[in-house]
A and B are shown apart, each in its own frame.
Chain A
Amino acid sequence: MSEEQQAPAIEVNDLTVAYREKPVLWDVDMEVPAGVIMAIVGPNGAGKSTLIKAMLGLVRAAAGQVLIHGRPYDQQRQLVAYVPQRGSVDWDFPTSVLDVVMMGCYGALGWLRRPGKKERAAALAALEQVGMQDFAERQISQLSGGQQQRVFLARALVQSARLYLMDEPFQGVDAKTERAIVEVLRRLRAEGKTVVCVHHDLETVPEYFDWVFLLNVRRIAAGRVGEVFTEENLRLTYGGRVPLLQRGGGGAVVGAGR
């Protein structure tokens, strides 16, 4: 991998976010090299989604700085694609799959201009990448959870960004969708792009990701999965109760990713 030669995809310095008096993120530093697939892992309420939202400016930070490929987010917006949690929208909204995917073009279109043939073609191509091309004209309420997730992924692919921030893309999806997503993530990495996912399922971390960021309000550890994803770090992150990996035995939980 060539990440050492480039500016990091993400550089977060001293990020602090608080709701009312309660800190959600405390003094978090993060550096994501370009061209990796990184998982943000931590217990519920650890601030995982907030970290992504703060990078995107959706949540106001009390302090701290975020650089995307070396410059502030405001100047690099077109390099970043965001995949929100599937449950954050109303899937009974009166619109078609193709229409949702075309929303990914809205940023490039700018104000007032409507999507046309070019955007339609791009949206169809993105749907094909996630295996949903036959669903283009479907009403979105007819989709299963996994299909919804793939539509959201396609919407981000349309943006042809360099950095993808995804909030729990694997949450509650079927096996087919999980495979499709993993395939897309690997293809993105092969193209030199960077993916950061909030992730819940500890067991699949070594298989799907090559970098991991352990978070519980503060940064616990970050780095290559093979070096950082250890039982001790997980215990530090989850406060002693690591639900899934205990049976693995002592020492490093996993070998080196791939």
Chain B
Amino acid sequence: MSAVVPLLDFLGDYTLRTVALGAAALGTVSGALGSYAVLRKRSLLGDAISHAALPGIALAFLLTGSKATLVLLAGAAAAGWLGTLLVMRIVGTTRVKEDSALGIVLSVFFGLGLVLLTHIQKLPDASQAGLDRFLFGQAATLLHRDVVMIAGLGAVALLVAMLFWKEFKLLSFDPDFGASLGFPMRAVDVVLTSVLVLSIVIGLQTVGVVLMSAMVVAPAAAARQWTDRMGGMVALAGAFGALAGVSGSVLSSLTARLPTGPTIVLCLTAVVLVSLALAPNRGLVWEWVRDQRSRRALQTDAVLSDLRALARQHDSLDHGHSIKVLEAMRFGRGGARSTLETLAERGWARRTGADEWSITPAGLAEAERRAPGKDEEERP
């Protein structure tokens, strides 16, 4: 088998279609629900839940001897929930802070999971149990019935999020106010955490426990860049998750033995980088442009007021002043020339000699408009 299937065959390929559908479903769900984790500043909770799920998968196999996805995922969900519960207990009853509690639970559960996995691999009759696919994910192992299950459970999670839209919003924005309205915020928290666990568990087979948290955090972080509304953020995060899920898992199943989790995360990284750089308003490029613009505006202001001060001092609009003088008036400010040219374009300054400039009557009026009466305090 060649490593790359021709693209034309893509739509007809049953395995690929299965993988793409499954990845789209899990990406949508984890991206959308991950928005809440990000908005509540609990991004790391997803990491703890997914790592905590590993011993659950192993124990489910050891106890039942079954490799059915539903059984394994039930174990994963139970362990993920237990991990979350432990984090809350630790924070509530000891002086350990939340980040440390998350770290403790994550590593202890994950370690336990690894020990159990090693043990399972040594069992005589379970050598090809294939549980290690849950570490980094293997999209190619997705079967049609797995996809149906992912889509079904994911739909339940999304439906719950839609039903409790305003309750989840209260919990994320202002839980104390929500409680004062009479909503049992702790119960709302339990529901939200449950659907978050669900959304993480359905992705484990494809993405793996190690990198599943990226599916929770990254789409939401990218989506926040593009929108200022919660509805938009949740929808966009779902779309980003689906996009990265599909591209990552298709790429990995086209290439032999390429684990899916890391491939998906690389695709997600691209989405995040583009969002961080290019998104309007919040994007870095945008910010840089705004910065430059305001710097130029400030500089225009400053040079104009310096020119006015010089004109007052010499009591003449015809007297030219060299650029060196203007640059010396506020030390550290280069680029007076381009600012002067801008001023000249607007008719506020004019060139009187090779390197000499002076303010025009219109420029004087403009300077007065910008800083009325400020010329008396102007430095010479």
**Chain A residues engaging chain B, CB cutoff 8 angstroms:** 53, 56-58, 77-78, 80-82, 84, 88-90, 93-96, 99-100, 103, 106-107, 109, 111-112, 114-115, 139, 141, 155
* Among candidates A88, A93, A100, residue contacting B39 with C-beta atoms closer than 8 Å: A93
Contact status B179-A103, CB under 8 Å: no
* Among candidates A56, A112, A139, residue contacting B180 with C-beta atoms closer than 8 Å: A56
A-B Cβ contacts below 8 A, count: 72
Contact status A94-B164, CB under 8 Å: no
CA of A167 to CA of B163, assembled, Å: 31
Given contacts A93-B173, A95-B230, is CB(A106)–CB(B166) below 8 Å? Answer: yes
CA of A155 to CA of B181, assembled, Å: 12
Residues of B within 8 A of A93 (CB): 39, 172-173, 230
Residues of B within 8 A of A58 (CB): 176, 179-180
Given contacts A93-B39, A94-B228, A94-B232, is CB(A103)–CB(B177) below 8 Å? Answer: yes
Contact status A114-B181, CB under 8 Å: no
Residues of B within 8 A of A78 (CB): 182
Tell me how many residues of B have a C-beta within 8 Å of chain A.
27
Q: A93-B39, A114-B166 are in contact. List 19 more A-B contacts (CB 8 A).
A: A77-B180, A77-B182, A81-B180, A82-B177, A88-B174, A89-B174, A90-B41, A94-B230, A94-B233, A95-B229, A95-B230, A96-B228, A103-B169, A103-B170, A103-B173, A103-B174, A107-B181, A109-B166, A112-B163
14 interchain pairs, CB-CB under 8 A: A56-B179, A84-B176, A84-B177, A89-B174, A93-B39, A94-B232, A94-B233, A96-B228, A99-B230, A103-B174, A106-B167, A109-B166, A111-B167, A112-B164
Given contacts A89-B174, A103-B174, A114-B165, is CB(A94)–CB(B179) below 8 Å? Answer: no
Interface centre among A77, A84, A95, A109 (most CB of B within 10 A): A95
Chain B residue with the shortest CB-CB distance to A88 = B176
Residue interface bits B202-226, CB-to-A below 8 A is 1, else 0: 0000000000000000000000100
Instruction: Name the distance in Å between A226's Cβ and chain B's nearest Cβ.
Output: 32
Residues of B within 8 A of A56 (CB): 179-180
Does B227 reach chain A (CB closer than 8 Å)? yes
Contact status A90-B173, CB under 8 Å: yes
Residues of B within 8 A of A88 (CB): 174, 176
Residues of A within 8 A of B286 (CB): none
Instruction: Name the distance in Å between B33's Cβ and chain A's nearest Cβ.
Output: 15
CA of A106 to CA of B166, assembled, Å: 8
Residues of B within 8 A of A103 (CB): 166, 169-170, 173-174, 177
Instruction: Name the distance in Å between B286's Cβ and chain A's nearest Cβ.
Output: 15
Residue interface bits B162-200, CB-to-A below 8 A is 1, else 0: 011111011011101111111100000000000000000
Contact status B229-A106, CB under 8 Å: no
Residues of A within 8 A of B39 (CB): 90, 93-94
CA of A99 to CA of B172, assembled, Å: 14
Residues of A within 8 A of B176 (CB): 53, 58, 82, 84, 88
Contact status B178-A106, CB under 8 Å: yes
CA of A95 to CA of B164, assembled, Å: 17
* Among candidates A81, A90, A106, A115, residue contacting B170 with C-beta atoms closer than 8 Å: A106
CA of A96 to CA of B173, assembled, Å: 12
Given contacts A90-B173, A93-B173, A112-B164, is CB(A106)–CB(B179) below 8 Å? Answer: no
Instruction: Name the distance in Å between A148's Cβ and chain B's nearest Cβ.
Output: 12
Q: 6 smallest A-B Cβ distances: which pairs?
A: A107-B181, A82-B180, A139-B228, A77-B182, A89-B174, A56-B180
Residues of A within 8 A of B41 (CB): 90
Contact status B181-A94, CB under 8 Å: no
Residues of A within 8 A of B228 (CB): 94-96, 139, 141
Contact status A115-B182, CB under 8 Å: no
Instruction: Name the distance in Å between B355's Cβ and chain A's nearest Cβ.
Output: 44
Residues of B within 8 A of A89 (CB): 173-174
Residues of B within 8 A of A106 (CB): 166-167, 170, 178, 181, 183
